[in-house]
Amino acid sequence: MIIDHPLLGPRDSAEFTYMGDARLIERPSPDSPDAAAAFYDYAYLRDNPAGWHRELWFHEAGDRSWLVVTRNTVTHEISKVEFASDVARAKGRSK
Amino acid sequence: MRYSGLRVIKEALSGHKGWTPAWREPDPAAHYDIVIIGGGGHGLATAHYLAQEFGQARVAVIEKGWIGGGNVGRNTTIIRSNYLLDGNEPFYEMSLKLWEGLEQDLNYNAMVSQRGILNLIHSDGQRDAFIRRGNAMILNGADADLLSTADIKKRYPFLNTHDARFPIKGGLAQHRGGTVRHDAVAWGYARSADKHGVDIIQNCEVTGFRIEDGVCKGVETSRGFIGAGKVACAVAGNSSRLMSLANMRLPIESHVLQAFVSEGLKPVLPGVITFGAGHFYCSQSDKGGLVFGGDLDGYNSYAQRGNLPTVEDVCEGAVAIFPMLGRARLLRMWGGIMDMSMDGSPIIDKTHIDGLYFNGGWCYGGFKATPASGFAFAHLLAKDAPHPTAAAYRFDRFEKGLMIDEKGMGNQPNLH
Amino acid sequence: MTQKNRITGGQIDRNTTCKFTFDGRTYAGHAGDTLASALLANGVRLMGRSFKYHRPRGPMTAGSDEPNALVHLRSGARTEPNTRATTTELFDGLTATSQNRLGSLSFDLLAVNDRLSTFLTAGFYYKTFMWPAAFWEKVYEPIIRRAAGLGALSFEDDPDVYDKGFLHCDLLIIGAGPAGLMAALTAARSGAEVILADEDFRMGGRLNSETYAIDDAAGADWAAALVSELANMPNVRLLPRTTVIGAFDHGIYGALERVSDHVATPDAGKPRQILWRIYTQKTILAAGAIERPIAFNNNDRPGIMTASALRSYANRFGVAVGQRTAIFTNNDDGHRTAADLHAKGVKVIVIDPRADAPRARDYEVLAGAQVVDTMGRLGLTFAKVCLADGTERIIECGALGTSGGWNPNVHLTCHQRGRPSWNETLAAFVPDGLPAGMTVAGAAKGDMSTAGALAGGAQAAHSALDLKGRMLAMPKAEDAPVNITPFWYVEGASRAWVDQQNDVTVKDVKLSHQEGFRSVEHLKRYTTLGMGTDQGKTANIGGLAIMAELAGKTIPEVGTTMFRPPYTPVAIGAFGGRHRGQDFHPKRLTPSHKWAEEQGAVFVEVGNWMRAQWFPREGETTWRESVDREVLATRNSVGVCDVTTLGKADVQGADAAAFLNLIYCNGFAKLPVGKARYGLMLREDGIAMDDGTAARMAHDHFVVTTTTANALSVYRHMEFVRQCLVPDLDVQLISTTESWAQYAVAGPNARRVLEKIVDQDISNAAFPFMACANITVCGGLRARLFRISFSGELAFEIAVPTAYGDALIRRIMAAGAEFDITPYGTEALGVMRIEKGHATGNELNGTTTAANLGMGRMVSDKKDSIGSVLSRREGLNRADDLRAVGVKPVDPTQPVPAGAHLMISDGPVNAAHDQGYVTSACYSPNLGHHIALAFLKNGDDRIGETMRLVSPLTDVDVQVEICSAHFIDPKGERLRA
Amino acid sequence: MHDLIPTPALGVATQTIGTITIAENAGVALASVAARNGQTDICADVLKSILGAVPDVGKAVLHDPEAGFWMAAGQWMIGAPMDTHEDLADLLKAKLGDAASVTEQSGGWVVFDVTGAAMPDLCEILCNVPIRKMAAGDVQRTVIHQLGCFVIRRAADDHIRILGPRASAGSLLHALITAATAVA
């Protein structure tokens, strides 16, 4: 597969390490009253769609950036590639 | 009709006129006691044991395509019970014992062939871990044998024991392990279940569950509604897809695992060999093809096909440990969709919806588990209590912190 | 032996004669021949035996779709089983032998299977061989396995090497026939980067096998001229002898170039083959079409082949397979073969089931007739024909060409699960659902005429590259329409082969239907149709058609032909490339490696690292002697060990401390500058992930160490936390594992040694336990010093830039000479850490919690850290949880091996009573007996308990005492000294 | 002044195989510069003052004596002659102060200069870089025989510089020589 890196352009997916569902960016707050349940859901439950899937790839043999790749799990087509840090900020994960 | 050598001869002499279909092609009835979704190995085995062991006759298996078209028809056919953890080993050992009696049980030759499986050891740490595992196997009543490098060299003189980057330092063998003719497993279970009155309904896709105040009443299908006392899901690979119809999210990701077969070759490998310092395992089918595989591609996929890097990774392992394989040719590659669970172990459990039962999360260990999975699932469906060997395969083990993590990789499915 | 069937013409080089042997007999052929064409020229039709019935077989095709003519090519370690004679380029000195036979090729004892064929129908083995159960592995299966398989491997290491490479282009064209060539010319003239790949050693495709002209030139000459024009264009890369094997995601294609297969042995250092990964924007598939046979009784005898194969042998290779030849065809293309052969002086007769078959002036055409059977034990002699009026006629012939029509070569269009669709006009499947970026042209698309192919190729390139401007002018070429009446098998045929390699007959397909195996997948799996080395390129469609007729369905209703990579079988060595033997994985050497080699160290693989395991000395006969000495010397005086392999990372930035506070379960916010601290990392699921130390070199700079094994994954995890969870913390990470050479200097005399090297004061007051600092050594070289101890002794870890690592180890040894400083390896390191009760990979095995490790109190609940929440789950905090303990034998002479399980001393020995297991074990030279670390249920409360340690796998059963895991200096006085 | 003598990763002589020459270059001091939060501009100014320009994405500035290339967003690798710039990291830190995190990298890498007409052929069977499309100053991080490396297309058309992990210098050189032999 080819991942179109936001800065580096098309790069072979073999240069990347895969982690999975981009929801892993949305780590719950440990202080919330339902933290235990929230972390269980966060760590273990997946939508696992047959279709478009937002997922985390690490450019191990590249610039060491974590990317959020929007990829179709049935056709493997990739429609969008973003820096995970930008996505995280958009999710309000600034300190 | 009963199969036998005599029957084959008789039919041959009378022009094979007498052979009848291996299973009927019935239309779905309005209601069954139990409807099993998924005409794969696990679903068909569940039907067989429900009918034969638990006296359930009003059972249907519904399959969206053709039976045996899923992972039971696209795996590397290995059977073994060389597991480490208490939650797993007794279950897989029961499975192996069921394999050992399968042909007589089904009156179908699935070519269960116990030519042994060998896991190679390449480091001291690995040896420590394998000794612990071998002991766990023996303590659970299975067989295990620690082989020296010399033993291995004697059995497999063509293994790379002369210039290996990661020298072979021994191996853990299970002589009762081996391979089975995978398609025949589905056909044998289907034929037997059909004989016991189970309706096997092909080309019938589930489009939804009918759930009324927390109780599952049946399934909507491409061939209409089918009512059921209990609905049993066994669609590994597509578990998340199916269960989402009941608004369930699972501790499962779907990943592609590629497998490969070489051109037909005269006997090379008696048993199964697993390379411990790379991603490669291999056996040889009775037809002569070397059947081999390695690691997942590593990304979520429902595509039933993979990509080159994994093919290369597997073949690098192949030539590293079997230098003569360089001149054997890879004939065909294919991919199966694996239910990769969050701890690498399966789930056989009730759901929070009454009457809806689930069997999945087999990772790439599903084939060897087929008989025990069917038996344990049938037990759960018939008695509403888990089979003792499958009691740990619960949904809530993640919430409670009772994971069964053989590889110790944690909640990252593609590492199991 | 003369080339008695050699006729005039063709593209072989008659001036170059190649001597070769087949089954020990020597023959002569010419450059440009294939092994098959050369053997046929010499009158040899019998080349192999079929898979199941061991029927005599000769070539059925002239290409890579060949099911029958499979041989052992070359000999010894270079033996290649199952090699197609029809694609093997002839070279001088080629040796080949026939395979899958017991006895000689002409007298194969296993041909008895053919006599028994009535018993050996599809799936018969599922119905028998079940009694008695034990007989399967012992009796039935060994016989089956010996009979099965085709060729044999040599059981010797493959002596050849293979390369793997990467190519990039704008347009990949697969197939150099008329369509591919025209596409290439169009693209090349536009300036695009073009790769043109063809599996054949001569580009031109069917043009090499046809007689008709393009413009005024012969097709083959026109192709040759075009190929040389392309060869001279800088933006064109021609890849002959290169099979595109697979279409993978996003425009990545696999292609196998056979660099040296047409010579006796590759030149030194040169690869036999290269696996190219081709990265392309667009692809044109111009792979042509494959002619399919017709099934009739005994349609598999040597001499019976596809009509187009006869045409190729005659036109391209100058070979008349038989002086008398019959053609059995249901379409006009078959007649073209007859005309070509007749023109070359072959006596021809055509059998065409169509009543309105075209007539011919110069030879006989039997319209409305069918071939119903054939004769000839080892090769065709007669064909039995049923004429239109129902009467039979015996025709003498040495060759019989069959043409059931042509199938577009859709193979690669299916690799991303595209499903071809049925085309009535062609009575064939045509491409549908193409991989992104791929277009199809020529016969592969269904444009069966030469003119159609030329135009289609040009058009495809034009649109693929989105070219403006006019199309190239098309040369003149034949443009005959396809005229076919589907005809799959002769009525009443039973022993009529559908899949010749796997011996699947019409009868087997009928039986499959009769027993309910009616979908294409069931048909394939039950009969093995299309499962041979040719993947059923010539067989699948026939099987489908027969099944459709039996089921009263249309062909597409029964299913479609699906193909998977590779297009043709590929040597596994090519996928493996150079990653063999010692080159399987790269080696990582420590800075002291050269020095350690000089000391005669024994090395061990630790991941990709090679580490000194121990340093044997004169007179030591066992590894234990060396290791015991290294341990004692270190504990009694001083030892040195290369610990460079530990993962290292620089963590810098204003928020570095806050970051580490999140990464580690224990606190780091308040760690003062100049201090190091042990840190335990958890995974988010609350399980221990890794441990190490973090040393605060400055308020905004930490040096973090990880275990050797987890260096990569921990770094990745830290980047995940940094980028995905706390993107705005001011922290920067970079791995420095290889930048610094790091040595542990341990033992009571460690300080005395280092004082001679370090420029600063390292007295206990100035540099106490867990101190760290940027220092200088040997008069000013920048270095780092950490007062940390894995051995439990007074110890330092000293680091210098890697380039100085070799010099430093030599300097340390010199400085330590007066204390008899002793280098120690990983074994002694292991012994000392077990004596001290430190955990490593055997304990941090991915299932253990901080509590299991006895560090439960380290998990701070005053702050957020990765894994803290889920580590509190009930299942990870049970009363009877495993706890790390020490184990020692009651009888000091007994071992306490790792991997053994702990049982209650007087209780039963089985899984139900398993109490725990030993993770690490060694002999302690300080204590004089074996010791071990173990995980034991409720271990904290069982110190002093006597238990039974069993390892049935290795016949161990000893009484042991549970003790503290800290065997040496439990109070830690030594390391603070 | 200290009296320890540095050793090169391999210390092997230059090798010529066919048209290809492979030389170990032990004379390069390296340090990485990573901008602190919000300090990218200041870093850029400093780098500009040193190199004359800031290396853009995927590019190197082949300046003399110092040179540098882009590693990641806000991160650069700076190189200079070892004999004059052994303390490169300290020099950079002095200029950059709290604007950047600087890490000495000299010990982490082995440097090979590969030149010759067949250099592109060699690259094609070594690593996945579009070598024939690369221009002077183009840099790509890639994988060679499973080793993470930087491939820098130098000024001369037939010259690439490869930075690979020092601990695997032997394996990397072996891969280079094997490939050179195959394409020679």
In a domain, A39, yes or no: yes
Residues in D 115-154 with any Cβ partner in C closer than 8 A: 124-130, 132-133, 145-147
In a domain, A61, yes or no: yes
Mutate which: B266, B334, B400, vs C, most C CBs within 10 A = B266
- Whole-angstrom CA distances from B352 to B237, B246, B253, B394 are 21, 10, 20, 12
B235 and B128 within one domain: no
Question: Helices D40-51 and D88-96: crossing angle, nearest 10°?
Answer: 130
Peptide bond just before D8 cis, omega within 30 deg: no
The pair of structure tokens assigned to B33 is 């006691």
The three-state DSSP-derived secondary structure of C253-292 is EEEEECCCCCCCCCCCCCCCEEEEEEEEEEEEECCCEEEC
How many Å apart are CA C624 and CA B12, to the nearest integer?
69
B130 and B204 within one domain: no
How many Å apart are CA B69 and CA B183, to the nearest integer?
9
Min Cα distance B238 → chain A (Å) is 9
In a domain, B336, yes or no: yes
Distance between start and end Cα atoms, chain D: 46
Question: What residues contact C277, with CB distance under 8 A and at least 6 apart?
Answer: B308, C164, C165, C166, C167, C252, C253, C254, C255, D128
Q: What is the DSSP string of C520-555?
A: HHHHHHHH-TT-STTTTTTTHHHHHHHHHHHHT--H
Q: Touching C: which chains, 3+ CB pairs < 8 A?
A: A, B, D
Give Dmax over CA atoms of chain C in angstroms: 116
Q: What is the pLDDT of residue A95?
A: 65
Residue D143 touches partner A, C-beta closer than 8 Å: yes
β-pairing, B224-233 with B356-360?
parallel
How many Å apart are CA D60 and CA D68, to the nearest integer?
6
In a domain, A45, yes or no: yes
Q: Touching D: which chains, 3+ CB pairs < 8 A?
A: A, C
Find tokens 């040389």 and name the residue: C228
B33 and B70 within one domain: yes
**8 Å CB contact of A15 and D58:** no
- Between A and B, how many residue pairs show a Cβ–Cβ distance under 8 A? 68
Residue B391 touches partner C, C-beta closer than 8 Å: no
Residue C951 pairs in a beta bridge with C956
Residue A11 touches partner B, C-beta closer than 8 Å: no
β-pairing, C399-403 with C304-306?
parallel
User: What does R_g of chain C's alpha carbons equal in angstroms?
Assistant: 38
Q: Which member of A60, A84, A94 has the closest CB to residue C723?
A: A84
Query: Is pTM beyond 0.95 here?
Result: yes
Of the pLDDT bands very low, low, confident and very high (cuts 50, 70, 90), residue C130 is confident
> Which mean pLDDT values do the consecutive 10-residue runs of chain B (416 residues) have?
92 93 97 98 98 96 95 94 96 98 96 97 96 98 97 94 96 98 97 98 98 97 98 97 98 97 96 95 96 97 96 98 97 96 98 98 96 98 98 98 97 96
Pure H helices in C240-392: 307-315, 332-343
Residue C801 touches partner D, C-beta closer than 8 Å: yes
- Whole-angstrom CA distances from A17 to A56, C575, C820, C959 are 9, 21, 47, 47
Mutate which: A4, A8, A60, vs D, most D CBs within 10 A = A8
pLDDT exceeds cutoff 70 at C1: no
Q: B27-41: string of b/e by CB count within 10 Å (b at 16+)?
A: ebeeebbbbbbbbbb
In a domain, A84, yes or no: yes
In a domain, A95, yes or no: no
Indicate which CATH number applies to the domain containing B258: 3.30.9.10
**Smallest CA–CA distance from C810 into chain D, residue:** D4
Min Cα distance B128 → chain A (Å) is 29
Residue A50 touches partner C, C-beta closer than 8 Å: no
Our separate counts of H helices and E strands in chain B read 11, 18
Domain range holding B285? 117-177+253-341
**Smallest CA–CA distance from C81 into chain B, residue:** B328
Does an H or E element contain C767, and which? none
How many Å apart are CA A90 and CA C790, to the nearest integer?
44
Q: A83: which chain C residues are within 8 Å (Cβ-Cβ)?
A: 723
**8 Å CB contact of A85 and C250:** no
Domains and CATH numbers, chain D: 17-25+108-183 (3.30.1360.120), 28-106 (3.30.70.1520)
In a domain, A18, yes or no: yes
In a domain, B7, yes or no: no
Residue B412 touches partner A, C-beta closer than 8 Å: yes
Residues in B 238-277 with any Cβ partner in A closer than 8 A: 238, 240-241, 244, 249-254
In a domain, A43, yes or no: yes
| All CATH 3.10.20.440 domain ranges in chain C, comma separated | 1-153
Q: CB-based burial of residue C120 (10 Å sphere; 0-12 exposed, 13-18 middle, 19+ buried)?
A: middle
B230 and B214 within one domain: yes
In a domain, B14, yes or no: no
The pair of structure tokens assigned to C854 is 């006895």
What percent of chain A lies above the pLDDT cut of 70?
99
Indicate which CATH number applies to the domain containing A75: 3.30.2270.10
**8 Å CB contact of A27 and C719:** no
CATH architecture of C160-292+406-482: 3-Layer(bba) Sandwich (3.50)
**8 Å CB contact of A76 and C655:** no
**pLDDT mean across residues, chain C:** 96
What SS3 class is residue A16? coil
Per-residue pLDDT tens digits for C432-446: 999 999 999 999 999
Q: A73: which chain B residues are within 8 Å (Cβ-Cβ)?
A: 254, 300-303
Indicate which CATH number applies to the domain containing B377: 3.50.50.60
Q: What is the DSSP string of C35-60?
A: HHHHHHHTT----EE-SSS--EE--S
Q: What is the pLDDT of residue C561?
A: 77
Min Cα distance A5 → chain B (Å) is 17
Does an H or E element contain C959, and which? strand C956-963
How many Å apart are CA C20 and CA C25, to the nearest integer?
8
CATH architecture of C585-645+740-846: 2-Layer Sandwich (3.30)
Per-residue pLDDT tens digits for C167-211: 999 999 999 999 999 999 999 999 999 999 999 999 999 999 999
Indicate the length of chain A as a whole number. 95
Domain range holding A11? 2-90
Within 10 angstroms of residue C461's Cβ, the number of other Cβ atoms is 32
Of the pLDDT bands very low, low, confident and very high (cuts 50, 70, 90), residue C494 is confident
Q: C814: which chain D residues are within 8 Å (Cβ-Cβ)?
A: none
How many Å apart are CA C839 and CA C853, to the nearest integer?
8
DSSP C139: I
B268 and B157 within one domain: yes
Residue B208 touches partner C, C-beta closer than 8 Å: no
The pair of structure tokens assigned to C754 is 């280092």
ipTM above 0.85, yes or no: yes
- Give the distance from CA D56 to its chain's centroid: 15
**8 Å CB contact of B136 and C901:** yes
Per-residue pLDDT tens digits for C458-489: 999 999 999 998 888 999 999 999 999 999 99
Min Cα distance B7 → chain C (Å) is 8
Residue B344 touches partner A, C-beta closer than 8 Å: no
How many Å apart are CA B209 and CA B227, to the nearest integer?
10
Contact (Cβ atoms closer than 8 angstroms) between residue C948 and residue C902: yes
The pair of structure tokens assigned to C707 is 């275990």
Q: What is the pLDDT of residue C240?
A: 98
**Smallest CA–CA distance from A7 into chain D, residue:** D57
B154 and B71 within one domain: no
Mutate which: A1, A2, A63, A83, vs D, most D CBs within 10 A = A63
Residue C740 pairs in a beta bridge with C801
B194 and B334 within one domain: no
Q: What is the pLDDT of residue B230?
A: 98
| All CATH 3.50.50.60 domain ranges in chain C, comma separated | 160-292+406-482, 293-404
As a CATH number, domain C293-404 is 3.50.50.60
How many Å apart are CA C96 and CA C36, to the nearest integer?
11
Per-residue pLDDT tens digits for C601-618: 999 999 999 999 999 999
As a CATH number, domain C646-736+852-870 is 3.30.70.1400
**8 Å CB contact of D106 and C803:** yes
Per-residue pLDDT tens digits for D44-94: 999 999 999 999 999 999 999 999 999 999 999 999 999 999 999 999 999
DSSP B72: G
**Smallest CA–CA distance from D71 into chain A, residue:** A63
Q: Touching A: which chains, 3+ CB pairs < 8 A?
A: B, C, D
Q: CA dihedral defined by D138, D139, D140, D144, rounded to 10 degrees?
A: 110
Per-residue pLDDT tens digits for A43-93: 999 999 999 999 999 999 999 999 999 999 999 999 999 999 999 999 999
For CA atoms B400, B401, B402, B403, the dihedral sign is: positive
Q: What is the DSSP string of D94-151?
A: HHHGGGEEEEE-GGGEEEEEEESTTHHHHHHHH----GGG--TTBEEEEEETTEEEEE
DSSP D182: H
Q: Which member of C146, C566, C580 has the closest CB to residue B267?
A: C146
**Smallest CA–CA distance from B254 into chain A, residue:** A48
Q: Which class would CATH give C1-153?
A: alpha beta
Nearest-5° Cα angle at B81, B80 to B85: 145
Q: What is the DSSP string of C636-686?
A: HT-EEEE-TTSEEEEEESTTHHHHHHHHBSS--TTPPTTBEEEEEEE-TTS
Q: Which member of B125, B181, B331 has the closest CB to residue C533?
A: B331
The count of domains in chain B is 2
How many Å apart are CA C337 and CA C312, to the nearest integer?
9
B97 and B167 within one domain: no
Per-residue pLDDT tens digits for B97-135: 999 999 999 999 999 999 999 999 999 999 999 999 999
- Give the distance from CA C543 to its chain's centroid: 31
Find tokens 């290439």 and name the residue: C184
The count of domains in chain A is 1
C720-723: list long-range contacts, CB under 8 Å, 24+ apart: C720/A19, C720/A24, C720/A56, C720/A58, C720/A66, C721/C659, C721/C662, C721/C663, C721/C866, C722/C659, C723/A65, C723/A66, C723/A83, C723/A84, C723/A85, C723/A88
